[in-house]
Chain A
């Protein structure tokens, strides 16, 4: 848990520390201070790894039928058991990371990354730039991602691209607004006025003062976006709107759900844990990074 985040930070002992400790040592210390963050990071790295290579390392192809007795419970050969098709649930969970990962990737980098940058830029400089970003942002903000998705789906049918575009654009202008709000506050802080008073250029103030102050929020937003994208993808898949691929949300829906209700819980529980775990990891990592990077928390 992120319980470490608010305990009094370690102070440097100026008398005895002649030079900055090495990178590894600093990282090690950070890790000890933020076990929850490390946990989150590990989960996310695992998720990325599975997203990239899951299909290759899965013990069985995710769609191979009858690798064992259908609906068999977890065993040593099949740690998560088998579903109605006799498919290996463990392999499906590992392979299912791919779709989530692809959507997550685009949402975080295209959506949250770009969106945050635009938000900060606009929030700080205001005027025409803010105007432009805000207006185009608003045009797309007026398209909540589900609405955009359904519109695109009407036109182009159920494809992966439709989902990616809808979720990424949603994230693009979601982060934008939060950061702009925060930046407007920072812009009006006393330290900005002071910097301006001592003759700093606007760009310098922006890069040196404002950006570092809102950066933690960017990271929090990115991690939040990752979580939200996975949740959105799984919900779409649950509703039967996802792409055809092996997907966690899809494995938790319909027939599997009613089968699980009759006692074969393992069919839906493991994909469910996978979703929750990754989202949890993203949230924990976001929290810890926020604690680490927030200048005010570090004193």
Chain B
């Protein structure tokens, strides 16, 4: 187990490197967008264009550019944005709290709602509540997130002339009320989409677990219903739940962008989007690198949690 963990840990940087390599060289394929052409105006002369190219470091051979980039990265210099000539790291640093908050809230809502209703519907199988929640879940999963978020803005305005706050991240430590007013409603809605999937998975996994012999044994031993559910049932249903939650976090990169866009919050999603549209290579490269680190770390934790949750899972 420990050996496995260590080996995975050693592989993490490798994955991140591979991802960065793919990105770096894809962006510089001969038929890919040339950023320099985006930073000229109608009066720009060829000399000025060459100067811009040199300034952006794109005049060197691709391999040399790569060496420079890696060298800078190792020294903690992430380069400057093409568009605004700002150091990349502070730009990211200012924005990531937005995404962290969206992520934490959404995952919290989806997990709490999903697991709770999953357990309820499994235990009360075939009851009215079961049907009700399942219908709700099936529909909840079928409605695009952007539509829910748009309704959140449009409906209160039509009904009560209330406009939910949009725009402007306020730190939760500075002004918790303002922060929560901005983030809670949309993250709750984002969470609902994830909760629907999680609820259905929890329910079906639990139902399967309930059919297993050891649950029957546990009941036969005289353990109370709730205890069986929590101690045995849920514990055994945890692996798929954790896996799905992991996938949910990854999916939230998308949800977060949609939320940022509709609620006009300037986070990493929008930053990435604008950078992609303006061929801002240093930003795109670093954001890919950054998400890779986040996702790889999370996947490692999920994998390791399998062994913690279910001792039968052995890692060779």
State whether the Cβ of A174 lies closer than 8 Å to any Cβ in chain B.
yes
Residues of B within 8 A of A2 (CB): 134, 138
In the complex, which residue of chain A has the Cβ closest to the Cβ of B244?
A178
B171-205 CB contact bits vs A (8 Å, 1 = yes)? Answer: 00000000000000000000000000100100010
- Is there an interface contact between A6 and B272, defined as CB atoms closer than 8 Å? no
| With A126-B316, A280-B142: A142-B296 Cβ-Cβ less than 8 Å | yes
Residues of B within 8 A of A185 (CB): 239, 310, 312-313
- Is there an interface contact between B131 and A1, defined as CB atoms closer than 8 Å? yes
State whether the Cβ of B246 lies closer than 8 Å to any Cβ in chain A.
yes
| With A155-B29, A188-B312: A257-B150 Cβ-Cβ less than 8 Å | yes
State whether the Cβ of B218 lies closer than 8 Å to any Cβ in chain A.
no
Give the A interface residue count (CB, 8 A): 58
State whether the Cβ of A208 lies closer than 8 Å to any Cβ in chain B.
no
Residues of B within 8 A of A284 (CB): 138
- Is there an interface contact between B291 and A279, defined as CB atoms closer than 8 Å? no
Residues of chain B in range 1-60 having any CB-CB distance to chain A below 8 Å: 11, 14-16, 18-19, 22-23, 26-27, 29, 31-33
State whether the Cβ of B254 lies closer than 8 Å to any Cβ in chain A.
yes
Residues of A within 8 A of B197 (CB): 224
- Is there an interface contact between B239 and A144, defined as CB atoms closer than 8 Å? no
Stretch of B72-80, B110-118, B161-169, B274-282 lying at the A interface: B274-282
Using C-beta atoms within 8 Å of the partner chain, give the interface range for chain B: 35 or more
Q: How many angstroms from the CA of A178 to the CA of B253 in the assembled complex?
A: 19
- Is there an interface contact between B33 and A155, defined as CB atoms closer than 8 Å? yes
- Is there an interface contact between B254 and A142, defined as CB atoms closer than 8 Å? no
State whether the Cβ of A138 lies closer than 8 Å to any Cβ in chain B.
yes
Residues of A within 8 A of B284 (CB): 150-151, 154
In the complex, which residue of chain A has the Cβ closest to the Cβ of B272?
A150
- Is there an interface contact between A238 and B144, defined as CB atoms closer than 8 Å? yes
| With A234-B144, A235-B254: A154-B275 Cβ-Cβ less than 8 Å | yes
Q: How many angstroms from the CA of A276 to the CA of B143 in the assembled complex?
A: 5
Contact of A147 among B154, B288, B313, B316 (CB under 8 A): B288
State whether the Cβ of B251 lies closer than 8 Å to any Cβ in chain A.
yes
In the complex, which residue of chain B has the Cβ closest to the Cβ of A279?
B142
B223-253 CB contact bits vs A (8 Å, 1 = yes)? Answer: 0000000000000000110011011001101
Most chain B Cβ neighbours within 10 Å, of A150, A185, A238, A277: A150
Q: How many angstroms from the CA of A177 to the CA of B200 in the assembled complex?
A: 18
Residues of A within 8 A of B16 (CB): 142
- Is there an interface contact between B33 and A135, defined as CB atoms closer than 8 Å? no
Residues of chain A in range 172-211 having any CB-CB distance to chain B below 8 Å: 174, 177-178, 181-182, 184-185, 188
State whether the Cβ of B135 lies closer than 8 Å to any Cβ in chain A.
yes
| With A142-B296, A155-B32: A147-B144 Cβ-Cβ less than 8 Å | no
Which B residues form the contact surface with A (CB < 8 A)? 11, 14-16, 18-19, 22-23, 26-27, 29, 31-33, 125-126, 131, 134-135, 138-139, 141-147, 150, 154, 158, 197, 200, 204, 207-208, 211, 239-240, 243-244, 246-247, 250-251, 253-254, 257-258, 261, 269, 272-273, 275-277, 279-281, 284, 287-288, 291-292, 295-296, 299, 306, 310, 312-314, 316
What are 30 A-B contacts defined by CB distance under 8 Å?
A1-B135, A1-B138, A2-B134, A6-B125, A135-B15, A138-B15, A141-B250, A141-B296, A143-B291, A143-B295, A147-B288, A151-B26, A151-B27, A151-B276, A154-B279, A155-B32, A156-B31, A178-B247, A181-B243, A182-B240, A185-B239, A227-B142, A239-B261, A241-B273, A252-B146, A275-B147, A276-B144, A283-B138, A283-B142, A284-B138
